[in-house]
Amino acid sequence: MAALQWLTPRKRSATARSVLAGEAAAEAALAAPAAHAQEPEAPAHAGPERSGGAGEADGDGAAPAFPVVGDPYAAAFFDLDNTVMQGAAIFHFGRGLYKRKFFHKRELARFAWQQAWFRLAGSEDPEHMQDARDSALSIVKGHRVEELMSIGEEIYDEYMAEKIWPGTRALAQAHLDAGQRVWLVTAAPVETATIIARRLGLTGALGTVAESVGGVYTGRLVGEPLHGPSKAEAVRALASAEGLELSRCAAYSDSANDIPMLSLVGHPYAINPDSRLRRHARAEGWRLRDYRTGRKAAKIGIPAAAGVGAVAGGTLAAVALHRRRR
């Protein structure tokens, strides 16, 4: 997989760590069992898409139906948080871990404060980000991957299943019905992302990879969190390994942070977009979909409204907050 970074051109924004994170995510996704082993839940029905310009809904022109049925070189890549699922998957997962007394309130408060600082400062200071990652990874160190997977299955049923956006779920199903592969691409831990993909009957998931040896976490990441340019690198690596043509592929996201990933494919969608992505999508002629209520949509992208969002993002530390109370 290491050689994949040389197979296709990339923008200069990619770093060695983002390439490593992307390739690790692709390798983990390809090594996971097939997602279709479990029957997915029935999605809400959505008719075939039609190619068209930007807008809240596509026009009724004579363009061919999308996705294209029977195209072996096409696939779809879906961001998870606020695109497929309402809210942050790691927040829902953190709720389940907290319920099971995996970590203390003081730990939750510390991670929430770190994330709130990132959001309110409007920038990602490298030292602060490294401190947050080190705090989370120090907790996961020494615990088994299988423990996270087992509890994750329970937590999906408790908190996540009811948070799936029916509209986005239907879009994913349209790609599956057309015979295409569908992958989640998320900064959430790959273990959590894989569970969600399997429950939805998707092909698989690309997520942040925490290093493990012998099934035990070492307390280090492979590369960096799968975020921004790293997502694009993961999609690029997977496409190379699977023989996909990115110009025929589709990508869906709610966040301007995913513009690198959306820009890779021939069919980018802005789903429940934040204000920056909405502006960018309209300028580029990308298609838009918004499955939120008007009131919820109006609040997106306002830094001062960190509130619950800051706490949700702060629980990123629950990548595996595995330290039980003694």
pLDDT at residue 114, rounded to an integer: 54
Predicted confidence (pLDDT) at residue 51 exceeds the cutoff of 50: no
Q: How far apart are CA 176 and CA 41, in angstroms?
A: 13
Q: Convert 87-116 to b/e letters by CB count within 10 Å (16 or more is b).
A: ebbbbbbbbbbbeeebbeeebbeebbebbb
CA–CA gap between residue 43 and residue 60 (Å, rounded): 24
Query: Of 284, 298, 314, 271, which Cα lies nearest the Cα of 120?
Result: 314
Tokens describing residue 256: 């301007």
Per-residue pLDDT at 130: 55
Per-residue pLDDT, averaged over 141-163, amounts to 89
Phi, psi of 209 (to 5 degrees): -105, 115
What are the start-end ranges of the E strands in 104-238?
181-189, 204-208, 210-213, 216-221
132 or 157, which is more confident: 157
Rounded Cα–Cα distance for residues 3 and 94 (Å): 36
Residue 302 has pLDDT above 50, yes or no: no
- Indicate if the pLDDT at residue 5 is higher than 90: no
pLDDT for residue 35: 46
Q: pLDDT by residue (tens digit) across 203-242?
A: 999 998 888 899 888 888 887 888 889 999 999 999 999 9
In order of 4, 122, 208, 281, the CA distances from 228 in angstroms are: 19, 16, 12, 16
Q: Which of 67-76, 104-113, 121-130, 288-297 has the lowest mean pLDDT?
A: 121-130
Highest mean pLDDT among 12-21, 98-107, 260-269, 303-312 belongs to 260-269
pLDDT(119) > 70: no
* Residue numbers annotated as active site: 79, 81
Least confident of 82-86, 100-104, 267-271: 100-104
Q: What is the pLDDT of residue 94?
A: 76
Rounded to whole angstroms, the Cα distance separating 145 from 57 reads 42
Instruction: Give residue 294's pLDDT.
Output: 54
Query: Given this model, what pLDDT does residue 50 score?
Result: 42
Average pLDDT score over residue span 278-284: 96
Bridging pattern class, strands 210-213 and 181-189 = unpaired
CB 187 within 8 A of CB 223: no
pLDDT at 157: 96
Judge whether 180 and 74 are in contact, CB under 8 Å: yes
Q: Which amino acid makes up residue 34? A: A
The conformation of residue 50, written as its DSSP 8-state character, comes to E
Whole-angstrom distance, CA of residue 268 vs CA of residue 73: 16
Question: Between 294 and 262, whose confidence is greater?
Answer: 262
- pLDDT reported for residue 253: 96
Given pLDDT bands bounded at 50, 70 and 90, which one contains residue 167? very high
Q: Are 183 and 293 in contact (CB under 8 A)?
A: no
Is residue 272 within a helix (H) or strand (E), and if so which, with residue range?
none
What token pair was written down for 60? Answer: 């009724």
Residue in the block written with tokens 């959001």 = 119
This prediction has a pTM of 0.72
State the DSSP string of 2-21.
GGGGGTS---TT--HHHHHH
Q: What pLDDT, on a 0 to 100 scale, did the predictor assign at position 92?
A: 82
For the chain, what is the mean pLDDT? 73
CA distance 318 to 95: 9
What is the rounded CA–CA span in Å between residue 289 and residue 292?
9
Please report, rounded to a whole number, the percentage of residues in the chain having pLDDT higher than 90: 38
Comparing C-alpha atoms, which of 243, 189, 226, 191 is closest to residue 31? 191
Cis peptide before 166 (omega within 30 of 0): no
pLDDT computed for residue 223 by the predictor: 77
* Residues 176-211 pLDDT 10s: 999 999 999 998 888 889 999 999 999 999 998 888
Higher pLDDT, 29 or 174: 174
91 compared with 50, residue with greater pLDDT:
91
- The answer to whether residue 41 scores a pLDDT higher than 70 is no
